[in-house]
Structure 1
Amino acid sequence: MSGPVVAVALTPPVRELFFDPADWAALRRLAEVRLPPPGHDVGDEATLARLLADADVVVTGWGTAPLTGGLLAGAPRLRLLAHTGASVKPFVTPESFARGVRVTQAGEAMAYAVGEQALALTLALLHGLHRFDHALRTGVDWARAKAAPPRRELRGATVGVVGASRTGRAYLGLVRALGARVLVTDPYLDDAGAAALGVERVALDELLSRSLVVSLHAPVLPGTVGMIGARELGLLADGALLVNTARAALVDEAALLAALRAGRIDAALDVFHAEPLPVDHPLRALPNVLLTPHESAGTVQSRRRAAGIVLAEIDRFVRGDPLRHEVRPEQLPTTG
């Protein structure tokens, strides 16, 4: 074969979410495109092995099987994994890099969408919309429904951002534009970087104790798993608000449930330790919690931007140009 082969290892619903007809046309101009046979699951290693047999590039997404040693041994031409999402950890193995497979991802496409939803959740919590909605939907009488805890405006409020990631920066830019004072904790952010962002860099404990709203935007790393536990939640003032559109593993779930049941804080959560969230999970019944089903990045524009990044990276790869969103082996532990 003279031209490159791109194996699109995505389920039909995921393909439709990301790639429109113009994207498919652009991809077919770049390479020969291979799709899994109808009814075959790309989460099945045998299906993926057949798809990758003579592929130079694989496009991955939710449900794609990881690149195990066995898969790689049967795909001698494979040289690039282009992921439609942010974290490549579910798909990439050390053996991938050892065999010369480069990795790129489209996480940048999602940053604004996640930041905007975190802003929406912040505003909903500040104005008590979740409590009003819960009260009216569960039959609470009008007078009791109106007797919500004091509501506050974002303008002039202190907002703490845990993690100056791409989503964290998108969020802090939005809340600053609406008049919030912003504190940030991030071990990779120095004073000069904080000054450039217009924020104050502080330690986590200070951020928690000073902030009315705390929004989480950190990756899952050995040092961040469970970083918000009972002690840290205890540093929050009564009536503080917690927003998590990042990863559930950042927060000790039992400690969070205890704080929520005590009524000390309110929370908005887009990520959960168990997904799908069980129907009988206690979070579903609490009036001081706003829940969304891990969809903060799921805007039409975000998906289209991700497809654009994947196409541009494949184009650069085919041309031999440097990739702009490459994940190198040493970066994998810090990609979340």
Structure 2
Amino acid sequence: MTSDNRPRLALAMQEGLAGRLFDDEQLRRLGRAADLDPAPVLHEFSSPRAKASLARVDILVTGWGCPPLTAEVLARAPRLRAVVHAAGSVKHHVTAACWERGIAVSSAAAANAVPVAEYTVAMIVLANKRVLPLLARQASGHAQTDPPDSSVPVGNYRKQIGVVGASAVGRRVLALLRNYDVERVVADPYLTEAEAGTLGARLLGLDELVSTSDVVSLHAPSLPQTRHLMDARRLSSMRPGATLINTARGELVDTAALTAAVGSGQLYAVLDVTDPEPLPADSPLWNHPHVALTPHVAGSLGTELLRMGELAVGEVERLADSRPLNHPVSARLLERMA
């Protein structure tokens, strides 16, 4: 700590990001809560400048592109007591050495969940209105007022929306869907029926949710046990004409099996993430009228980055006042997070 007990703070993230995460007022708040290290934003931890900065800091505010905080790096930062991440997942830079040192970790995942959930709900509404194939027909110069698949009732009223994963995003999706006349169901191995009820949803097993929902939206983390969570068996069990939405991680879906299911006309898909990412140039998913592909844009972009910066500033202020973090991350919690 500095002589007046104000913590010293440094920023560590990819070049150019700090100016998009923090506006002038947020930077002033950081300066009131802590002494900002005079070194520029750290993009690496090996140069003499970076080593000197690490030796001085109590709090490290990180963002996308922060290098891993290995035991070797932490040895150069003897005063470091907190890592405040102004983005979502901390898996890329928070290592076991951080937990061994007892370093407090915070994440802005709750702030990043907001635009992902907004994107998801928008796509749910459009999917049930059968906008995807209509857009494809309009783009080809064929005007059509009736949806091409008349065997599936069009509209959102009384449709069942299945949320896979009661993550920060999944919970916000369920909350936003309160404004719609839809039935909400959720599948999550760590959720109880009572907890699902507080979210306004019915708790179902994953297989039942997949086979009975009009839209299945994925919000689970990428873990060994969730790889290809949506495999050929589960995809084939979905209702004919149902829509799969993936804004989580591409590896949750067996891409080959999804390509076959979409190609058969059985399913629709909205994919903001894919496996691989991007898809091969010859993938049939690129131009299929049942598929909407977006380039990983559901998360925070543009002005939405300021929301993550705002959360991080609040966490620094709490640390400076010796208050507990609002958005702590623990080693145990990280095992179940994206």
Q: What TM-score do you get using the length of structure 2 for normalisation?
A: 0.90
1:61 and 2:63 aligned = yes
Show the counterpart of 1:167. Answer: 169
Show the counterpart of 1:328. Answer: 330
Write the distance in 2 (CA, Å) between the matches of 1:163 and 1:180.
18
Equivalent positions of 1:150-165 (< 5 A) are 150=150, 152-165=154-167
| TM-fit CA distance, 1:143 | 5.4
Moved more, 140-149 or 82-91: 140-149
Q: What TM-score do you get using the length of structure 1 for normalisation?
A: 0.90
> 1:107 is matched by which residue type in structure 2?
A
1:14 and 2:1 aligned = no
| Identity over aligned pairs, percent | 37
Show the counterpart of 1:285. Answer: 287
| TM-fit CA distance, 1:20 | 0.7
| TM-fit CA distance, 1:197 | 2.3
> 1:17 is matched by which residue type in structure 2?
R
> 1:16 is matched by which residue type in structure 2?
G
> 2:43 is matched by which residue type in structure 1?
V
Report Cα offsets for 1:143-186 as digits up to 9, x if no partner: 58976223611111111111122211211222232100111111
Consecutive unaligned residues in structure 1, runs of 5 or more: none
Write the distance in 1 (CA, Å) between the matches of 2:32 and 2:279.
41
**Contact kept in structure 1, 2:45 and 2:73, CA below 8 Å:** no
**Contact kept in structure 2, 1:19 and 1:307, CA below 8 Å:** yes
Q: 1:242 aligns to what SS in structure 2?
A: strand
Show the counterpart of 2:124. Answer: 122
Q: 1:53 aligns to what SS in structure 2?
A: helix
**Contact kept in structure 2, 1:57 and 1:80, CA below 8 Å:** yes
Moved more, 68-77 or 205-214: 68-77
Q: 2:221 aligns to what SS in structure 1?
A: coil
Moved more, 15-24 or 4-13: 4-13
- Alignment CA distance shift 1:34-1:286 (3 Å): farther
Write the distance in 1 (CA, Å) between the matches of 2:46 and 2:279.
27
- Alignment CA distance shift 1:335-1:133 (3 Å): same
2:232 to 227, 230, 235: 230
2:297 to 281, 295, 312: 295
Aligned-residue CA RMSD in angstroms?
A: 2.4
Write the distance in 2 (CA, Å) between the matches of 1:48 and 1:241.
48
> 1:149 is matched by which residue type in structure 2?
D
- Alignment CA distance shift 1:203-1:17 (3 Å): same
> 1:214 is matched by which residue type in structure 2?
V
- Alignment CA distance shift 1:27-1:292 (3 Å): same
> 2:179 is matched by which residue type in structure 1?
A
Write the distance in 2 (CA, Å) between the matches of 1:128 and 1:53.
57
1:25 to 11, 24, 28: 28
Moved more, 51-60 or 112-121: 51-60
Report Cα offsets for 1:92-145 as digits up to 9, x if no partner: 1101111232211111112232111101111222223232333343xx341589
How many residues were matched structurally?
A: 332
- Alignment CA distance shift 1:240-1:178 (3 Å): same
| TM-fit CA distance, 1:213 | 0.6
**Contact kept in structure 2, 1:9 and 1:59, CA below 8 Å:** yes
| TM-fit CA distance, 1:77 | 1.4
Moved more, 228-237 or 296-305: 296-305
**Contact kept in structure 2, 1:79 and 1:100, CA below 8 Å:** yes
| TM-fit CA distance, 1:216 | 0.9
Moved more, 7-16 or 242-251: 7-16
2:218 to 216, 219, 237: 216
Show the counterpart of 2:149. Answer: 149
**Contact kept in structure 1, 2:134 and 2:147, CA below 8 Å:** no
Equivalent positions of 1:79-94 (< 5 A) are 79-94=81-96
Write the distance in 2 (CA, Å) between the matches of 1:60 and 1:177.
35
Write the distance in 2 (CA, Å) between the matches of 1:132 and 1:36.
54
> 1:7 is matched by which residue type in structure 2?
A
Show the counterpart of 1:272. Answer: 274
1:243 and 2:245 aligned = yes
| TM-fit CA distance, 1:49 | 4.1
Report Cα offsets for 1:24-57 as digits up to 9, x if no partner: 111111222237648xx71575475454232111
> 2:173 is matched by which residue type in structure 1?
Y
Report Cα offsets for 1:267-295 as digits up to 9, x if no partner: 11111223455555543222211122212
1:5 and 2:11 aligned = no
- Alignment CA distance shift 1:145-1:45 (3 Å): farther
Write the distance in 1 (CA, Å) between the matches of 2:298 and 2:320.
32
Show the counterpart of 1:42. Answer: 43
Write the distance in 2 (CA, Å) between the matches of 1:125 and 1:16.
36
Moved more, 260-269 or 46-55: 46-55
Consecutive unaligned residues in structure 2, runs of 5 or more: none
